[in-house]
């Protein structure tokens, strides 16, 4: 009679590596990195590399939450607009009512978490796809951002908050930078690494991570074995809102003011980063490190075009081609991994 250990399928080291979600994205990132190193001399400096990291972090922080939500089987199309909503709530509350910016930031956080809760609650209670629920939220927030800002300030720009109490301390947390030699390191890069590490730990080492994979892979089976389906999914929507709030605070405290119409379209960048990073659109598969690599690919592509000195009118077309190639490389590596397992 065979023992339990003899029945186990032992994968080789190469198969175990290829089976990881982030491998395809890593291969694509290396290819794109080498391409811009050869095509854009300005891309080769340490300053340029850290600028790419900063650009990647502003997308990558929200993409962490969006990636977790997609692993859980849902989408949030309001994630781009909510970053601006977060900053506008903070700035206009404090500017109009003379509040300390810390109070405004906490009120803004509560408001964003409430939006995430409403998104998740409506998706779970109505059964309407999250694509439609959050699309509605997207339009509501976009209209409110423009309408309320115009009503309060008379323009589509929020007021300058740099003279309000609490600005310096909040700016240090969300929008500070420091020098390492000639290189400027923005604190969002540090926060991005910390959030990715935390999300990776939660996904791989905790019961909550198992729940996220379970509700995204097979919700009915997850519910049958006692996974708190509704609580897990609502929590994931609120997580996206938290990261949106965080980036909104960064934008507000870096530039002191916000344009109410910004943020539109960023939700697709977050989803692209997650997909390029190996997250399946059908849910149940992916990891935080892959999402971070996906955001890094976007940062390299968007700034590499600038460093190469190419016509910016081709930016979107070139970006689309690069991202499509990244997805194809990712898919090829996954198929190769599957073929080797079967073989």
pTM for this model (two decimals): 0.90
- Domains of the chain, by residue range, sit at 25-30+44-335
Give the pLDDT confidence of 227-263 residue by residue, as tens digits.
Answer: 999 999 999 999 999 999 999 999 999 999 999 989 8
Among residues 241, 158, 187, the alpha carbon closest in space to that of 58 is found at: 187
What is the per-residue pLDDT for 14?
Answer: 65
- Counting as low any pLDDT under 70, the low residues of the chain are 1-19, 312, 319, 322-323, 326, 329-331, 333-343
Residue holding tokens 């310096």? Answer: 168
Separation between Cα atoms, residue 253 and residue 102, nearest integer Å: 12
What is the per-residue pLDDT for 272?
Answer: 86
What is the per-residue pLDDT for 42?
Answer: 82
Separation between Cα atoms, residue 15 and residue 103, nearest integer Å: 51
What is the per-residue pLDDT for 8?
Answer: 52
Give the pLDDT confidence of 74-122 residue by residue, as tens digits.
Answer: 999 999 999 999 999 999 999 989 899 999 999 999 999 999 999 999 9
Start-to-end CA distance of the chain, whole Å, equals 26
In DSSP terms, 179 is beta-bridged to 184
Cβ contacts of 206-215, under 8 Å, gap ≥ 24 = 208/232, 212/68, 212/71, 212/72, 212/236, 213/71, 213/284, 213/285, 214/284, 215/72, 215/73, 215/283
Among residues 279, 324, 266, the alpha carbon closest in space to that of 55 is found at: 266
Separation between Cα atoms, residue 175 and residue 192, nearest integer Å: 13
What is the per-residue pLDDT for 134?
Answer: 95
Report the CATH fold assignment for 25-30+44-335.
ABC transporter involved in vitamin B12 uptake, BtuC (1.10.3470)
How many alpha carbons lie under 13 Å from residue 288 in its C-beta half-sphere? 21
What is the per-residue pLDDT for 1?
Answer: 42
Q: Which residue blocks in 72-186 are alpha helix, DSSP H?
A: 79-97, 101-126, 130-153, 167-174
């Amino acid at each position: 009679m065979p023992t339990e250990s003899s029945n186990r399928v032992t994968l080789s080291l190469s198969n175990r590596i290829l089976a990881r979600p982030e491998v395809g994205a890593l291969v694509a990132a290396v290819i794109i990195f080498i391409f811009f190193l050869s095509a854009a001399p300005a891309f080769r400096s340490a300053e340029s590399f850290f600028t790419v990291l900063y650009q990647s972090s502003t997308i990558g922080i929200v993409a962490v939450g969006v990636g977790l939500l997609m692993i859980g089987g849902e989408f949030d199309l309001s994630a781009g607009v909510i970053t601006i909503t977060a900053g506008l709530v903070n700035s206009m509350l404090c500017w109009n009512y003379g509040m300390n910016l810390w109070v405004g930031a906490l009120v803004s956080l509560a408001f964003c978490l409430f939006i995430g809760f409403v998104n998740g609650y409506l998706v779970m209670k109505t059964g309407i796809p999250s694509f439609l629920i959050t699309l509605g939220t997207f339009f509501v927030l976009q209209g409110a951002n423009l309408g309320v800002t115009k009503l309060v300030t008379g323009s589509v720009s929020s007021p300058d908050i740099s003279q309000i109490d609490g600005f310096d301390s909040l700016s240090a947390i969300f929008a500070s930078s420091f020098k390492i030699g000639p290189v400027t390191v923005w604190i969002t890069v540090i926060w991005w690494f910390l959030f990715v590490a935390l999300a990776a730990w939660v996904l791989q080492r905790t019961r909550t991570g198992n729940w996220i994979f379970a509700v995204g892979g097979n919700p009915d089976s997850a519910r049958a074995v006692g996974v708190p389906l509704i609580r897990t999914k609502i929590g994931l929507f609120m997580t996206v809102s938290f990261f949106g709030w965080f980036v909104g605070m960064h934008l507000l405290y870096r530039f002191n003011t916000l344009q109410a119409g910004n943020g539109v379209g960023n939700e697709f960048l977050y989803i692209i980063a997650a997909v390029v990073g190996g997250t399946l659109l059908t849910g149940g598969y992916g990891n935080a490190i892959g999402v971070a690599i996906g955001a890094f690919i976007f940062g390299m592509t968007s700034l590499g075009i600038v460093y190469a000195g190419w016509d910016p009118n081709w930016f979107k077309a070139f970006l689309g081609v690069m991202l499509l190639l990244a997805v194809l490389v990712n898919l090829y590596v996954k198929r190769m991994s599957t073929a080797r397992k079967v073989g």
